[in-house]
Amino acid sequence: ERSPISRADIAREPDLQRSTISAIVDELQNAGLIEEIGIGSSTGGRKPTLLRLKTGKPIAIGVDLTPSHTTIALADLAGKILEKEDFDTSPDADFMTSQIIGRVAKFASKYKSDELEVGITVPGIADQSTGKSLYIPYFQWHDWDICKEIYKKTNLRATIDNDANAIALAELWFGREKIRGVSNFITVLIADGIGTGIIFDGQVYRGERGAAGEFGHMIVGENAPVQCSCGSRDCWEAHASEKAIIARYQNHFDKSATNGNGINITKLILLANKGDKQAIEALKETAKYIGIGISNLIVGLSPQAVIVSGNITKAWNIISNELLSIAERSVRRDLPAPTIIASTLGDQPT
């Protein structure tokens, strides 16, 4: 977080002996995880040697599975994307297993490294202790044992997590500086569905078998414009997901009209930012329900901050007033209001 930094400055933070810090630094250097980048300015004594995380060296293969497409990316220790590829997601679990393993194996073969590991995110419940995705509602997948299959075919260790949990970790490690100093916050991912990641005391709270954070299925209203992945029209997901935004936009037009056909969330947000009234109205109506859901999270969990992520953040100037005015109603008088902000992270966290 504070690189470039010297050994002496590191030693001041955890109040450890310099000899202990030097031993740890030497170990990390030998592992190829950090590097010396030059000499810093003197504050009166000898000029310090500056250290930072070693960038440019492949350390992780990330697999992000969404209902519509899957991304496989190679990253270094600082989170920089070195290479990636995308392909359409199939509802066939066996086909997706073979596709993922084949592409992971290709990256591993191209960048031979003893440090390479695989991280997988899914839009569903993931049990890190077993390496299985217990349930992905969009495809009705149960007990998808992808980590075991990757290890069997590539000898690479793999871990799996819910997509919103992964975003929460990314915010903790790479997000805004003021958020990195917050120990209790919630991330809300607005996508095909809605996911929430919970950080308590600087750690992801996953609950029993990774099932925590399924707030997309809490009831926030009735007669939503689309069905939730569970089949209900009462859930937060049905009222506030990208699917709901698109459905509201399409409902502005006569069924025989072609105005709303072929629209996706990227095009809709682009239209809204150019002043399209129907697109703006669809986003603002959805923002009300996002705000209701966040209001419930604030009442139940009392976080220091709530971070909204997903494509919808590109329309933050359109939705923020509507969303904040509703969410802030839930703040009790004697308590400080949590910070509610849009994520600044993308493919290249800094």
pLDDT digits (tens, 9 = 90+) for 268-314: 999 999 999 999 999 999 999 999 999 999 988 989 999 999 999 99
Rg of the Cα trace of the chain? 22
Express as a percent the part of the chain with pLDDT over 70.
93
Q: Strand 117-122 and strand 60-65: pairing?
A: parallel
CA–CA separation, 154 vs 163, rounded Å? 23
pLDDT, position 349: 39
CA–CA separation, 161 vs 195, rounded Å? 12
> According to DSSP H, which parts of the chain are helical?
7-12, 18-30, 93-110, 146-154, 163-174, 177-180, 236-240, 242-250, 265-273, 277-301, 316-327
Express as a percent the part of the chain with pLDDT over 90.
59
pLDDT, position 350: 36
The Cα angle at residue 55 between residues 52 and 58, in degrees rounded to 5: 140
Strands (E), the chain: 5-6, 34-39, 49-53, 60-65, 69-75, 81-88, 117-122, 125-127, 132-136, 141-144, 158-162, 185-190, 194-200, 203-204, 305-309, 339-342
CA–CA separation, 79 vs 211, rounded Å? 26
pLDDT-based confidence at 112, cuts 50/70/90? confident
* Amino acid making up residue 34: I
pTM of the model: 0.82
Please give the torsion angle defined by the CA atoms of residues 281, 286, 292 and 295, in that order, rounded to the nearest 10 degrees: -100
pLDDT, position 211: 83
* CB-side neighbour CA atoms (13 Å) of 104: 30
- Are 309 and 343 within 8 A, CB to CB? yes
pLDDT, position 259: 57
Count, residues in the chain? 350
Q: Which of 51, 8, 9 is nearest to 33 (CA)?
A: 51
Kindly state the tokens that stand for 91.
Answer: 């509802």
Q: Which of 191, 132, 222 is nearest to 310 (CA)?
A: 191
Q: Which of 139, 140, 147 is nearest to 90 (CA)?
A: 139
CA–CA separation, 215 vs 165, rounded Å? 13
Could you give phi then psi for residue 308, rounded to 5 degrees?
-95, 130
pLDDT digits (tens, 9 = 90+) for 202-245: 899 988 888 888 899 999 999 999 999 888 999 999 999 999 99
CA–CA separation, 175 vs 171, rounded Å? 4
Q: Which of 266, 285, 310 is nearest to 225 (CA)?
A: 285
